[in-house]
Amino acid sequence: MKPLLAVSATLLIACIEFFSPSYSQSASQKSVKLEYSFAAGNVKYLSTSKIIQTMDIEGQSMQANVFSTLGCTIKPAGKQDGYLKLEVKIDTMGQNTESPQGYSGGAVADAIGKTFNLTISPSGKETDLSGAANIVFYIEGSGRSDLSQSFTDYFPDLPEKPVTPGYAWSSTDTVRAKSETMSVLMIIKSENTFEGFETVDGTECAKIVSVLSGSRDVKTQTQGMDIRMRGPFTGSGTLFFAPVKGYFLKHMVTTKMDGSMEITSPEAMTFPVVMDMTSVNEVVK
């Protein structure tokens, strides 16, 4: 069973309240256009995530955990054809895995200190990640990857038109990521509601809550085996976006996937798997 445990940990790695809010009554019904601009200048973010993967292998339950951190400084670098250019510097990056095989991981030294440029639309769609893709690093237990995997869906999407509290809308997003040994396809459906304005760390923010659903499909090769992990997921998200500053202050997401892990070669096997994921991305000083 040890090779299967290693595969579980490898796939788990791949699939990766500093405030007291108070409701603003005076702003409860005003209309607002939410757009990324980073008008306040440089912003430092720290993203933390935890993945708990539980597998049932021939009646035996086995669990693996992955803890990830990504800290970066984002600097506005002008506009081009209506899109926002950003300079991103990686301040810290690390990943640790706990599994029945033991502990692995640590700081990702190859990425720390590196700088690249990316482009996003005013509503948060990433349109150019070529700079991130050029920064390649190695993660113990997972292998080679690049920074585009971490920034493919980094900025939460915003509504396209001005909204007032209570406004609800639906959105669907397709996320594709690919490395030397792995491909990931996610289809994310969101039912979003702009609940109103709240003061977060002294800044008025628009609060958006989302009900999430979709599917995740991961294909990889490791230890001479072809692996596929897939299944549907559900979850929720909460976003606090500062309209005056033009960036989000905090984004929290929780999802759960009930699916399967399939080994298609050299010997066909299938195991049920449950994956619980939580992430928080927030501004730090």
Q: Is the pLDDT of residue 61 over 70?
A: yes
| CATH tag for 2-16+20-284 (out of 1.10.3470, 2.40.128, 2.30.230, 1.10.10) | 2.30.230
Q: Is the pLDDT of residue 8 over 80?
A: no
Q: Which residue has the higher pLDDT, 30 or 251?
A: 251
Question: What per-residue confidence (pLDDT) applies to 149?
Answer: 84
The mean pLDDT of 41-48, rounded to a whole number, is: 96
Question: What per-residue confidence (pLDDT) applies to 246?
Answer: 96
Say what percent of the chain tops pLDDT 90: 57
Question: What per-residue confidence (pLDDT) applies to 112?
Answer: 95
Residue 42's pLDDT band (cuts 50, 70, 90)? very high
Q: Which residue has the higher pLDDT, 265 or 235?
A: 235
Q: CA 52, CA 54: separation in Å to the nearest integer?
A: 7
Question: What per-residue confidence (pLDDT) applies to 143?
Answer: 67
pLDDT in tens, 261-283: 898 777 788 889 999 999 999 99
Residue 5's pLDDT band (cuts 50, 70, 90)? very low
Q: Among 2-11, 115-124, 130-139, which is the least confidently predicted range?
A: 2-11
Question: What per-residue confidence (pLDDT) applies to 276?
Answer: 96
Tokens of 10: 């490898």
Q: Indicate the residue type of 196.
A: G
Tokens of 124: 């948060």
Give backbone dihedrals phi and psi of 203, rounded to 5 degrees, phi first.
-120, 130
Say what percent of the chain tops pLDDT 70: 87
Q: Is the pLDDT of residue 1 over 60?
A: no
The mean pLDDT of 87-99, rounded to a whole number, is: 93
**In this structure, are residues 112 and 89 in contact, taking their beta carbons and an 8 Å threshold?**
no
The mean pLDDT of 32-44, rounded to a whole number, is: 93
